[in-house]
Structures are given as C-alpha cells and as structure tokens.
Structure 1
C-alpha cells in the first residue's frame, strides 16, 4: 500500500515542528521501538519458568520473586490501614482523622472488593507505563519542541534583547496555541549538540529500557478491579467523579446522577432555558467587542487573533456531590433531593482566553483588599492581634458564595479598586472603561449545555470561570466594609471563610447580623470554638484566658489522600509532597506540645498513604530543605519526558550534560495518566458535535469531529492511497476544506487532485488524537 504524507494547505494547520535534523532518527527509533515491543510481547506469551534463548532462567526467577513481594505488599487494601488496630495510631492528635472509607459509593451501585481496593488508592495514583508507541511519540514531540526553541533562541540572541509590543508593556506567556507555526532556521552549533542528545536518548537510553518490562504497581486483584470499573462505565451503568471536598472517588449510578442534576437545574432563580442560536450570538458579539477594544488599546494583531476563539466549545455542566454533608442513610438513597451538589462549568468556553488577559490585569488588585488572605498571612495577623480574657472568637462561612454573588455589585467593586489603584497596575494599553466593558461582556456569556439542552445562568458567577475567584473576592470586600470600620481585634477572610476576634460576644453577634444584612442572597453561617479550639482553614486556633495557640488541623470532610507511595511518580515528587506536609505541620504549631501533636497527625496521614516509617521519620524533626527555582531555571526550555523510572530520568539528564545543553534545557518528568484521568469523564451526556448522522465523526470512536489538535488519516477505498494530515483547529473545519476541494476537483488540494485523477471516493479514520490517554 502506498503512503503519502499530507501537506497542510496553510501554515496554521501545522501544530508540531518539523525538526529536519531529527526526523529520520525519529522514524528509525519508532521502528526500533516497535520491534522491541513486539519481541517483548512475544516473549511474554511463553510460561515464565520456561527456558528461552532470549531470557535467562535466573532473570525469570528474579522477576517472579519481585512480583510475589510486590503482591504481598499490596495485598492489604489502603482503606484497611485506617481501621486496622495494628496499623492505626491511637494518639489523641488523630481524633480529627476519622476512620472513613476512601471511596464513596452512592445509591444502589455494587462494586467488588477488587474494584474498591483499586479506588482506595485515590484519584492521583498513576499505574506504571511501558515504553510503547504512544510514549515514544510523546518523546519525539518533546524533542522537536526543544529543538525548535533552541534554534529560536540562537537566532534571537544577537538580534533582540527583549520583545516589544505596541502597548509598551510585555504580556506574560500566553497559554493558548498560536494559529500558525514558523519553522526556525538551522543553526550548526545548536543542531550538532541536539543531535548528540537525541542519539543518546534514543539509541542508548530508550532502546535499553524497551528491553526491561516494567513491574506493575497494581496487584492482580486491583487490575481486575480496573477492568470491572471500565466495563461498568462503558456500559453506562455508573458515573465516576471525585467528591467536593474529600478528594476521594465517588461512584454513582448514571440514572441517579442525571436525576440529581435535573433537580438542581429546576431552580428558576438560577437558570433558564437557552438555545444554540443564543450561544452563537453571544460569542460572536463577544469576539466583535474584543477585536474592536483590543485594536483601540494598541495590541498587536497576533495577540488579538490568539486571544479570539472563533469556534468555541459550549461549556458543559457537571456536579460534584458534597459527600461530607451526607448521612450514612443518605448514601443508599435514590431521592435526588437528599443530595447537595457543587455545580461546575467546564473550561474552554468563549470567554476563556479573554478572561485570562483580564485576570492578568485584575489579579494584582487583590493585594489592596484589606481582609483578603494570601499564603501564610493568617498566622502573621493572628499573632499580631490583641487577645484578652474577654475576647470572643468565631468563624463565619458564606453559603454558596459564587452562585449568590451580585454581578452588578462585583463590577462596582472592581471599578472602585481600579480607579483607586490604576497607577500601580499594568493595564497593557487598556483604559479602565475598556477593561470594565470586556468584563461586563464576559459575565453576559453564561450559557452552558447539559444532556443536549442549553441553559443560561441568570444569577451569580459560574464555578470554573477564570474570573470567578477575583470577582468574588472583590464583591466580598464590599460586603465586609461596614464590619472593618468597627476596628475589631481581627477580621480576615479567605474567599468565603472569615475568622473574627472581637472584644466581647455581643460585638461578635452584632458583626454577624451586620454581615447578613449587606446582600439579599448572601447568608453567613457561624462556627463556635469547641473546647476553646476553633478550626479555620488548616489551623486550629486557641484564644482563651488571654492566650493564643495554634496547631495543624485537617477537616473531618478530608479523606487525607496524598499521592500514594507506590504511584508511578518521580521519587522527588513524593518527597516534596511528604516534606511539604510535615513543613506545614511544623510551621503552624505555636509551642513544643502542639508541634508534637501536629507531627503525629502528619505521620498518621503518611502511614495511611503507604509511606514506610523510614520515609516520614526523617522528616518529623526538621523542616525540609527547599530548592527554589532560580530565574535561570525558569528560563530553561522544558523537555517533557514521560516518566518511566528515576534511573532513566537520571540518565537523560546526564545526556543533557554531555551534549552541553544543561544550561539551556531542563528535564520535566511527566507521570503516567492517573486514575482520575483514566476513569473520570465529565462530558458524559454531551458530545461536542451536534450534527445528526455526521459524516465526519469517525465510527466507533469516543471523540467526535469538534476535537482539535489531531492527526487524521483519509484512505481511498479503491486504490488504498492514504493522506495523513494534522490540524490545530477543530477537525470538522479542516475536513470540510478537504470535502470542498473534492467537490470542485481542485488540483491545488491533495484530495481534489486525487479525485480528478482516479475518480474514486474516500472515507475518514483516525491515526492518533492529540490528547490521547494511554490505557
């Protein structure tokens, strides 16, 4: 069969660089890796104990011993560590860590012990991956990106000292793909160094690790559980999600999940019916306003085009079950009214790119909100506050803040902050009136889709919108203004959680009533100290008898799920996670006894996530040393390497040094797809393509023709000739261009010329998807 490499008809369809110096090596490497994977698969079909010429008996025996030891270590489900008397701690400090299951099964769903043992590992658990075709292609793509950036820097080194914009200011790196790609000119020095690095990666490192089959970090029972869960999900029986605050997996029947979402959408004070036509009118009007405003502000054409989304996806709604508010009896309920949910709107809508720029402009305003907390500011303010014998301390929480925010009041708060502090801000060429106009247009685009129906949110902010946190914080600054004028001992807030210390209980009650009078939809609830200890964020505060103490705190709703010790993450990542937890536990304590209690709580959490005692005993008595990334580290080009093992990553870094590229490139280990990525699907009830009997959507595929960033294959049914293309735009747009070329038999297009010569028909199939998930 003949194969013809498709040439995109325009530069904007070329989403990956064509590194000419590595293209042939990449092809050879892919063929070599395919051969090695085939040989390894061939060997794996023989019984383990059978003597083979390719594998020694000693190696097979060693692999069996390692497998047996691994199975013994994993035979106990993770949740058992929370309830087993021999494994759990009985210290008083662990009373705030209840022995709860790490999986929530809701309704009449029944799962086997195998499935539960897998889900116990947590959403962040990554099964190991082997070096197959998908991994190799990712490495080739990363190498091509590095090569392109190295050439770009070499060409700019002497010509340019800094990028200039028409606005006179520099925007941060834009996190959205460009519409076109310009290949860089060859550079002899860069190409030579890069060729040395590529040769070492493929023919010295990658090929050697292809011969080493990875040892699974899942037990046979857990692998059976993974197959069971995938089958139940594919059959449409269950929906897999994560909880609102606990962090654990939530398994619910799809029938009950749809009933819960329908019940939520029946709130006519929040939502009304909409249509696809209204959505199209909204985003077209937004794009028109954006282009006119950006041109008036002096932004360059490339930036304007990059931040305009001509074919946006309609956001979809999905809900997270608030499992921490469920009683044990409610877990088996089938009544949708028994469940409280947090509605989330997916990202990538028509306002996503413009909202990013507005966030860049508006985020610095938050430092001018007096009560807003950042990082460790709470401890600093608490220790500086006046505390006496008569003081009263409580925490206030806003009920459903985002959906109850008044958009008009939020816009007014932003306008006042901009007017007062515009001289200290970088507006990137915009004036205040233009910023407010774009902000207002973004808030008007509030249409989403669920189960094929369109809805519009008519009140509040949508969870998942980029601007929601900034606007909510600004809105709360207006609500709390009357309370701040009373000069309290302490008033501070993080989003919707407030901590207040007043001189008397009467003063505290007055503040509570005053806050509840500021907005018709904003309602505060209060929490009082228990045994003189008040939980706030991740700290417990003791303010009694003129004394102020703090200790680390974990909410009862949290299942304390960390990246499991057996997850296929780099060792440095696990050490950092464990070190950060112990650092937090040590920093928030106020005296020696509370330090000991906080450390014991951290040890208990580390133990329940599979970390052996030797790992957390080293971190218990001291703060971990931190290596902050320098400016040079941040400026280095990231080589994204699919993580196989720490040993392989170490060898790749050594190859960088040998090729004299360590000052320009840094290796970033990318763990395999975790269980959350593999199992959770939020767009279960909505397809991107809404065309009935669409001829472009490939038959039997999980995605559809509205996806972007894909490599596609068109095959002639008569002669078997093939066209391989790639596009960063929605696939349906690119295929429509092909179909138009075929209809007119245009000789300037590949398919039109083929049809004119052979007079045959073609059908479409996929080779690879841009965001493919390895299973």
Structure 2
C-alpha cells in the first residue's frame, strides 16, 4: 500500500521541525509506505514500512505534539497540518502527483486561480523575454510531467500563448527548438539552460528601445559586451510603499548640496553614512588642524561666511560608492561656482566635464 500525504509545518523554532522528522518512524507503525511532501523544506521524503494504518499518522499530523518517544502530549511551539490524497491525486508546488496502481507519476499542475496571462507578444519588451516565456513553459510542461501528458501540456501552452498574442509560427519554432534541446540534454544527462552565457561577457544596463537595443547587441557582440534591459519606471514610482519617510538627516548614500548664506555659493559632497553624521563632521571640522580642513571649512575660515546647514538639498541617492563619487564630481562641475577644490574632479573624464560645462547654469 502507498499513500500520498502532504504536510505543512509551522514552528517558532526551526530545530523543532527537524526533531519531528527525526522521530517520524516512532509515530507511524510499520507496513505502509507514506510519501510525505514537506513544506517549507520543499523536499519529498519517503517513509517505508512504517504504517499498518493511517489512523495513528493522522493523529500526530493533526495536532501539536511533543517530539518525544515516550510523550504524545501537545507542544505549543510545533503545529502540523496534513492533507490526504483525493482520488489518488495531490498537488505539490507545480507538480500534480498521481498515485496510479501503487506507482507515482507526475503532471504539470496549475492552481485554480491560474490567470492564463503571460507577457504579451505585442508588449514593448525585448524578443528574448518572449522566447524565454515560451522556453520556461515548455520546460514545466515537459520536465514536470510523465511522457503520457506531454502532448496535452504542449497543447495547453500553445492555446494560452496564442491568447496572449503569440503567432503560431513563432510558437511552433520556439517549442520545437526547446524540445530538441531538452531531448539532447536528456541523452547527455545534462540540464538545458535558457541561454549560453559567455564567461568573459561584460554587461551594460540600458532602458529598452525597440530596434536600438537589438542593434547595439549585434554591434558589440564581437567585443564580448552585452546590453541588458533596465527599467526606468518601476512599481515604486506608481504605488506608495506605506512606509514613513525618513527624516533628511537619517538618509544615507547621498550626494548633497549646502549653500552659503552670504554668497550663495554651494558646497557639493557625498556620504555613505547618515547625512546628520556627515553634517556634524562639517560643523566640527573647523576645530581640527588647518591641513585637515575641507573645502567648506576653508571657505568659512577665509571669508567668515556661514553655511545653511538647516537647508541641505539631497541631489542623488546612490548605494554604489564609485557611482556616488562620479555623481559628486559631475555635480561639482555642473555648479561652476561651487566652493569645492578643483582637484575633487581630476579623475572625471573630459567628456563629462565638457558636457556639464556647456550645460551648467550661468
């Protein structure tokens, strides 16, 4: 006898979960094979020759218990639920598990809430994304299912993608291409990948522009440079995160500007720490030796001017240190009247200097 049983484990202590599975043999008597599908471990565990009937297994899987050989009392920190097979079927993630004549076969499973919507073929996305959509579905329909379900799954894939605007000729070409790769890899005991990635490829992220994106990839392929798509507008710009806005002083990874109250000349700086910490450093820098003074402090000392530390403007936020330094140099060049020392931009490319000098406000 084989029985399919899916369990879901919740505990405040992860060790308790593993203790339970270590003691499973003591809870389930012998003579019945149980295939346990375990969440959240996402693994299937076969328990053989431990059950004469499932009543005792149900008892332990229905209620909290103490994982001890001699104790069957409930334990408040470990809760288990179970789901038995229904007519020889049970689902586990994307797999439909079928108990057929005491043999386990599998099929691709779609939840009842399956929307049947995928990336539309007419949407403004790279062609590679649409090919990847087809490949991903073919992999699921073929690799998760027994051979007897392959034709059914391929028919589902074709029908659903046609509803999403995919041309039949494109679908047939991509499906046949993927099937050949899967078959070739099965013969060689390998796993097919969605694409072959060069070991020395360099990647550049750019916004997607139809035709231009593909043309750049073709042109730079010989230099081992590949362009990838970067979204300029994402969901963060559409939906509120419902999080409280951080006070300006608590924000970090900033490029900032501080204006002089007397001459209105700005100081441009950057910091990876909280902005309030960096501002306190500026205020106290005047107490240090002259050779450790920043450009802001030098301006304060030489002209007896005062900077408006209460009205700091954050120009950019960038977590990557090198990019943040480049942004700082670009803004120093852009604000030609800044009090920053000129050596602060000595590592900036002449191309950027020319670009920002021409566009700088006069």
Match of 1:17 in 2: none
Match of 1:542 in 2: 98
Match of 1:732 in 2: 276
Matches of residues 233-272 of structure 1 in structure 2 within 5 Å? none
Pair 1:490 & 2:35 matched: yes
Residues matched between the structures, number: 290
Match of 2:230 in 1: 671
Over 3 Å counting, the alpha-carbon distance change for 1:674 and 1:484 in structure 2 is farther
**Separation in 2, partners of 1:562, 1:736:** 52
Deviations 1:663-703 (A, max 9, x none): xxx42413314643433444x243444xxxxxxx2xxxxxx
**Match 2:260 to one of 706, 716, 733:** 716
**Separation in 2, partners of 1:494, 1:751:** 58
Over 3 Å counting, the alpha-carbon distance change for 1:720 and 1:740 in structure 2 is same
Match of 2:19 in 1: 478
Pair 1:645 & 2:215 matched: no
**Match 1:586 to one of 136, 139, 142:** 142
**Match 1:520 to one of 66, 72, 76:** 76
Matches of residues 364-763 of structure 1 in structure 2 within 5 Å? 390-398=1-9, 401=10, 404-406=11-13, 410=15, 475-483=16-24, 488=33, 490-495=35-40, 507-515=53-61, 516=63, 517=65, 518=67, 519-559=75-115, 562-592=118-148, 594-607=149-162, 609-620=164-175, 623=179, 625=181, 626-627=192-193, 633-634=198-199, 636=200, 638-645=202-209, 647-656=211-220, 661-662=223-224, 666-673=225-232, 675-682=234-241, 684-689=242-247, 697=248, 705-741=249-285, 748-758=293-303, 759-762=305-308, 763=311
Match of 1:768 in 2: 316
Deviations 1:598-622 (A, max 9, x none): 2233345434555444443434455
**Separation in 2, partners of 1:558, 1:578:** 17
Tell me the TM-score normalized by structure 2. Answer: 0.65
Over 3 Å counting, the alpha-carbon distance change for 1:654 and 1:737 in structure 2 is farther
Deviation for aligned residue 1:750:
1.4
Over 3 Å counting, the alpha-carbon distance change for 1:637 and 1:749 in structure 2 is farther
Deviation for aligned residue 1:653:
3.8
CA contact (8 A) 1:391 1:504 kept: no
CA contact (8 A) 1:714 1:723 kept: yes
Q: For residue 623 of structure 1, give the secondary structure of its aligned residue in structure 2.
A: helix
CA contact (8 A) 2:255 2:314 kept: yes
Tell me the TM-score normalized by structure 1. Answer: 0.33
The CA RMSD measured in Å over matched residues stands at 3.7
Over 3 Å counting, the alpha-carbon distance change for 1:570 and 1:497 in structure 2 is same
CA contact (8 A) 2:207 2:230 kept: yes
Q: For residue 530 of structure 1, give the secondary structure of its aligned residue in structure 2.
A: coil
Over 3 Å counting, the alpha-carbon distance change for 1:639 and 1:393 in structure 2 is closer
**Separation in 2, partners of 1:627, 1:537:** 21
**Separation in 2, partners of 1:397, 1:597:** 30
**Separation in 2, partners of 1:733, 1:609:** 53
Q: For residue 580 of structure 1, give the secondary structure of its aligned residue in structure 2.
A: helix
CA contact (8 A) 1:540 1:553 kept: yes
Q: For residue 56 of structure 2, give the secondary structure of its aligned residue in structure 1.
A: helix
Over 3 Å counting, the alpha-carbon distance change for 1:499 and 1:541 in structure 2 is same
Return the index of the structure with the highest Cα Rg. Answer: 2
Deviation for aligned residue 1:716:
2.4
**Separation in 1, partners of 2:90, 2:56:** 19
**Separation in 2, partners of 1:766, 1:543:** 62
**Separation in 2, partners of 1:559, 1:670:** 26
Deviation for aligned residue 1:710:
2.5
Deviations 1:684-736 (A, max 9, x none): 243444xxxxxxx2xxxxxxx33333222222243232222222333332232
Match of 1:351 in 2: none
Over 3 Å counting, the alpha-carbon distance change for 1:761 and 1:545 in structure 2 is closer
Q: For residue 173 of structure 2, give the secondary structure of its aligned residue in structure 1.
A: helix
CA contact (8 A) 1:499 1:536 kept: no
Q: For residue 156 of structure 2, give the secondary structure of its aligned residue in structure 1.
A: helix
Over 3 Å counting, the alpha-carbon distance change for 1:637 and 1:514 in structure 2 is same
Deviations 1:617-662 (A, max 9, x none): 43445527445777x834x36433213236333443455456xx42
**Separation in 1, partners of 2:87, 2:227:** 47
**Separation in 1, partners of 2:195, 2:121:** 25
Deviations 1:296-336 (A, max 9, x none): xxxxxxxxxxxxxxxxxxxxxxxxxxxxxxxxxxxxxxxxx
**Separation in 2, partners of 1:539, 1:524:** 22
Higher relative contact order (CA 8 A, sep 6+): 1
**Separation in 2, partners of 1:742, 1:655:** 54
Matches of residues 41-440 of structure 1 in structure 2 within 5 Å? 390-398=1-9, 401=10, 404-406=11-13, 410=15
Deviations 1:239-290 (A, max 9, x none): xxxxxxxxxxxxxxxxxxxxxxxxxxxxxxxxxxxxxxxxxxxxxxxxxxxx
CA contact (8 A) 1:711 1:726 kept: yes
Over 3 Å counting, the alpha-carbon distance change for 1:570 and 1:670 in structure 2 is same
**Separation in 1, partners of 2:35, 2:201:** 45
CA contact (8 A) 2:138 2:175 kept: yes
**Separation in 1, partners of 2:103, 2:169:** 36
Over 3 Å counting, the alpha-carbon distance change for 1:566 and 1:507 in structure 2 is farther
Over 3 Å counting, the alpha-carbon distance change for 1:607 and 1:732 in structure 2 is farther
Q: Going by fraction, where is strand more abundant, 1 or 2?
A: 2
**Runs (5+) with no aligned partner, structure 1:** 1-389, 411-474, 690-696, 698-704
